[in-house]
Structure 1
Amino acid sequence: MREIKQTIEQEITNAKFRSFDLVYRIGVKNHVRYWLIGALLLLIAVLFLPWTQNIRAKGAITTLRQEQRPQELNSIIPGRIIKWYVKEGDVVKAGDTIAQLAEIKDSYLDPELLNRTKEQINAKKSSVGFYGDKVAATDAQITAMQQVVILKMKQLSLKVIADSFEAVSAANDMKIAEAQFRRQKIMRDSGLSSLVQLEQRNQYYQSALAKKTSAEMKFFNTKTELIQAQAEFLEKKSKAQGEKAAAQSEISNSTADVAKLSNQYENYRIRNGMYYLIAPQGGQIVQANKSGLNEILKEGEKIAEIVPLQIDHAVEIYVRPVDLPLLSKGQKVRFLFDGYPAIVFSGWPKASYGIFSGEIAVIESSVSSNGKFRILVGEDKSYRPWPKTLMLGTGASAIALLHDVPVWYELWRNINGFPPEYYQTKEKNNDKGKK
């Protein structure tokens, strides 16, 4: 029994040693060293592979042109909604009617407002015509007065001349009669003539003096008539010209009233056309601000939005100020659109799958409210086309490609917190060399 027990213990001891050798592979040739060396060499090789530096940013789908973005449909005038022609989600064309409004201001409630305003315009135009006829009649009256006064002036002027000659003749007759009377008196005093002869000469002298006085009075009266005729003509002419000026003033006032009423008429006519809200462009109706009939719209208030269907897609992204100097117009940007699967290798864009390419189109020069700069990126026509089913507001992850550097350099740069390499394209460098 003792020998059997020793044999069993010996077998157990041998089994333990065999298990130890099997577990720790004592005496077996090991290849772990070669695996470690190979992994190290592979890691070193990977460190020297090219790595494309990039700037990442989040964005959303938008458009490059303002008229292709969602447009608010506003009511220019206040009004009451009496009919809807579309509902949310409907697709409309440019010129389609969206809704009909009714007037709510008492100044425009009269259904015959346009006709009544037109009647006022016609009445004012007739008034302008009447006053124009009055001006023409006054001109004709002034012309007739001028012709009459010219003839009368000529007549009185000739009469003045004739009266002046008559006065001169009477004065000469008086001088002759006076000289004869004086000589006759001298002869009477000398006793050469009789008293009767002296009295006859005296009578003749008195008669010549009376005629002279009468001729002078007639001459002065004719001159007075001439002056009075001139004054009377000037007075009548001034009165006629005053009436003409008053008529012309009325014409001016009536013309101003016609212009004002015409302005009001056009405003009323245009306002009547604003009772129907028209789609300015084709698109889909969304976000209706009013939900029923008889709701009141204020002046300039939004009633709905129109989202255009035909748009040129772009991506709106925001980058940090520290990354802004690394970007330029025309630079390539890769995108991952939400809802479109993709496999991305950050440093190897050519090995990525499901990504899309774009070109920077706009770099805004002012910082946005979020402290970043806004960038608009358009589609890269030379690369894979963007999906046609993209919608405004769809999220996008942007990767702006920069310089190619070794992997070890990129790791070292990130560990030290250095910015990416700033570089310029060959075309820009060639342009600088030419300059």
Structure 2
Amino acid sequence: MLNISKNKVSNFLDLNNYKAGKATLHNNQHKLFRRVLITSAILVIIILLLPWTQNITSKGIVTTLKPNQRPQTLQSPIPGRIDAWFVQEGDYVKAGDTILKISEIKSEYFDDQLTTRTSDQIKAKSASVNAYRGKVDALKNQYNALQQEQKLKLEQAKNKLMQSKLKVQSDSIDLEAAKTKSNIAKTQFERTVSLQEEGLKAVKDVEEYRNKLQEATAKLISQENKLLASKNEVINAELSVSTIITSYNDKIAKAQSDLYSAESSALDTEAQVSKLENSLANYTKRNSLQYIVAPQDGYINKAIKSGIGETFKEGEPLVGIMPANYDLAVEMFVKPIDLPLLHLGEHVQVQFDGWPAIVFSGWPNVSYGTYGAVIVAIENFANANGMYRVLITRDPDYEPWPEALRVGSGAQTIALLEDVPIWFEIWRQINSFPPNFYTPNGNEASKASDAKKK
């Protein structure tokens, strides 16, 4: 059969009489083989020249478009103990519905009448503030009265001082007149004595003029005394002015000191009232925090803290809730080498876990079971695993995503880039080159997406 022996079978048998022999000794087998090779080569060349859409494939998970639509846990801002549950896992709750009730575990908040007692303290302190304000007003009136009284007393003392000075001037003038009269009386007396010695005047006249001289001298001495008394009154008036200023300054300073003390006490009491009001507001708010309510409409996922009487610290998660209304999205993770190739608004194909699909990554038009999406956000900082997070959501121009899709499901994403021949893509893959880098201008990304859909 293999013709490796010198004794050939064909020398003993005619192989054409057998079907197997006829098939083996067929003369056209080489022609058929060449045709197959040529046809295959032509098909391969044609396939290599077909367009291929470059893409970036990655894995992702289903999430929500907005942060407030994602699953969350409810925490208590205060430590406490669970007293009662009002829901069970799987229940639908509306915003504001009570989920559970807690009680205090700190001794300073055990008093059930804490807010009432604090309110009474505020009322007492407020009354004290009013009393201090009344005292302040009274001291202000006293201060103003002392100032007015000082002003009047000073005017009175200054008037008396002026009168004393004027009296000094008047007495000075009277003294000069008395001196003049005294000199005249002395001159007349001396002249009369001379004339009496000459015999021209009688002794009677001398005695008369002597009497007049003595009277003038007495008036002169009296006027000098009056002048000295007037000067003394000026000194007393000046001393009175100084005494009034000093005395009333002391009184006014004391009244002002009392006024400042009263104002300081009033402000200090007001600060205490404000502090008590702050404490009352905190106590009231803390009482409202004893009821954990739903922040938005959603479903209770899991009770993290369970049972009655279980204690917890502030900030510990108590229960998980999933919002009822949300917009689905997929977060995909790409390598740093592929990140510059992605741009906002570019089209992405998504395959969800649980939905069968036939995917041709380079021919999105013939893929089956994939859904259209568009890039809405690109993270600017790598995660701990060295990958960049890209957020995509449903492309409104494509068919809706499955209604039964849930947050947390797995997904496979295919980001579509430029169209290149298949031979170029094979050559790129063999050399481990990244896809072609390009930057869309204006609406070029959306136009490219529309072209891919056609």
- TM-score (normalizing by structure 2): 0.81
Give the SS at the match of 2:348. strand
Alpha-carbon distance in 1 for matches of 2:315, 2:295: 15
1:201-240 equivalent positions in 2, closer than 5 A: 201-240=216-255
Structure 1 residues 362 and 142: CA distance shift in structure 2, 3 A: closer
Alpha-carbon distance in 1 for matches of 2:235, 2:431: 125
Alpha-carbon distance in 1 for matches of 2:161, 2:362: 122
Matching residue within 380, 386, 390 for 2:395: 380
2:274 aligned with 1:259, yes or no?
yes
Which residue identity does 2:43 align to in structure 1? Answer: A
Alpha-carbon distance in 2 for matches of 1:184, 1:419: 142
Structure 1 residues 300 and 174: CA distance shift in structure 2, 3 A: same
Residue 200 of structure 2 corresponds to none
2:116 aligned with 1:115, yes or no?
yes
Alpha-carbon distance in 2 for matches of 1:425, 1:210: 119
CA contact (8 A) 1:48 1:408 kept: no
1:132-171 equivalent positions in 2, closer than 5 A: 132-171=133-172
2:102 aligned with 1:101, yes or no?
yes
Structure 1 residues 265 and 234: CA distance shift in structure 2, 3 A: same
2:298 aligned with 1:300, yes or no?
no
CA contact (8 A) 2:182 2:217 kept: yes
Listed one character per residue, the Cα deviations across residues 7-65 of structure 1 (whole Å, up to 9, x for unaligned) are xxxxxx9x975697222226767678547624751563254232433322111101221
Listed one character per residue, the Cα deviations across residues 134-183 of structure 1 (whole Å, up to 9, x for unaligned) are 22222322333344344433433333333334334444444444555566
Residue 284 of structure 2 corresponds to 269
Alpha-carbon distance in 2 for matches of 1:53, 1:155: 109
Name the stretch that deviates more: 115-124 or 147-156: 147-156
Aligned residues: 419
Give the SS at the match of 1:233. helix
Give the SS at the match of 1:122. helix
1:272-351 equivalent positions in 2, closer than 5 A: 272-351=287-366
Residue 9 of structure 1 corresponds to none
Name the stretch that deviates more: 370-379 or 420-429: 420-429
TM-aligned CA deviation for residue 113 of structure 1: 1.8
Unaligned 5+ runs, structure 2: 1-9, 197-205, 448-454
Name the stretch that deviates more: 56-65 or 216-225: 216-225
2:390 aligned with 1:389, yes or no?
no
CA contact (8 A) 2:62 2:331 kept: yes
TM-aligned CA deviation for residue 424 of structure 1: 6.2
Alpha-carbon distance in 1 for matches of 2:295, 2:257: 56
1:1-12 equivalent positions in 2, closer than 5 A: none
Structure 1 residues 204 and 381: CA distance shift in structure 2, 3 A: closer
Residue 23 of structure 1 corresponds to 20
Which residue identity does 1:366 align to in structure 2? Answer: F
CA contact (8 A) 1:360 1:377 kept: yes
CA contact (8 A) 1:69 1:308 kept: yes
Give the SS at the match of 1:87. coil
Listed one character per residue, the Cα deviations across residues 89-117 of structure 1 (whole Å, up to 9, x for unaligned) are 22222111122121122222222222222
Residue 41 of structure 1 corresponds to 39
Alpha-carbon distance in 1 for matches of 2:423, 2:245: 117
Alpha-carbon distance in 1 for matches of 2:440, 2:152: 100
Structure 1 residues 137 and 20: CA distance shift in structure 2, 3 A: same
Name the stretch that deviates more: 165-174 or 304-313: 165-174
TM-aligned CA deviation for residue 395 of structure 1: 0.8
Structure 1 residues 67 and 258: CA distance shift in structure 2, 3 A: same
TM-aligned CA deviation for residue 119 of structure 1: 2.1
Give the SS at the match of 2:381. strand
Alpha-carbon distance in 2 for matches of 1:423, 1:237: 87
TM-aligned CA deviation for residue 133 of structure 1: 1.8
Residue 245 of structure 1 corresponds to 260
Give the SS at the match of 1:366. coil
Which residue identity does 2:224 align to in structure 1? Answer: L
2:419 aligned with 1:428, yes or no?
no
Unaligned 5+ runs, structure 1: 1-12
Structure 1 residues 198 and 399: CA distance shift in structure 2, 3 A: closer
CA contact (8 A) 2:86 2:100 kept: yes
Moved over 6 A (4+): none
CA contact (8 A) 1:48 1:406 kept: no
Give the SS at the match of 1:374. strand
2:359 aligned with 1:358, yes or no?
no
Which residue identity does 2:93 align to in structure 1? Answer: V
Listed one character per residue, the Cα deviations across residues 240-281 of structure 1 (whole Å, up to 9, x for unaligned) are 222222222222222222222222222222222111112212
Which residue identity does 1:229 align to in structure 2? Answer: I
Alpha-carbon distance in 1 for matches of 2:288, 2:88: 22
Alpha-carbon distance in 1 for matches of 2:134, 2:111: 35
Alpha-carbon distance in 2 for matches of 1:46, 1:122: 95
2:73 aligned with 1:72, yes or no?
yes
Give the SS at the match of 1:242. helix
Structure 1 residues 169 and 69: CA distance shift in structure 2, 3 A: same
RMSD, aligned α-carbons:
3.3
CA contact (8 A) 2:345 2:445 kept: no
Which residue identity does 1:354 align to in structure 2? Answer: G
Alpha-carbon distance in 2 for matches of 1:321, 1:48: 34
Give the SS at the match of 2:379. strand
Alpha-carbon distance in 2 for matches of 1:159, 1:348: 119
Structure 1 residues 246 and 289: CA distance shift in structure 2, 3 A: same
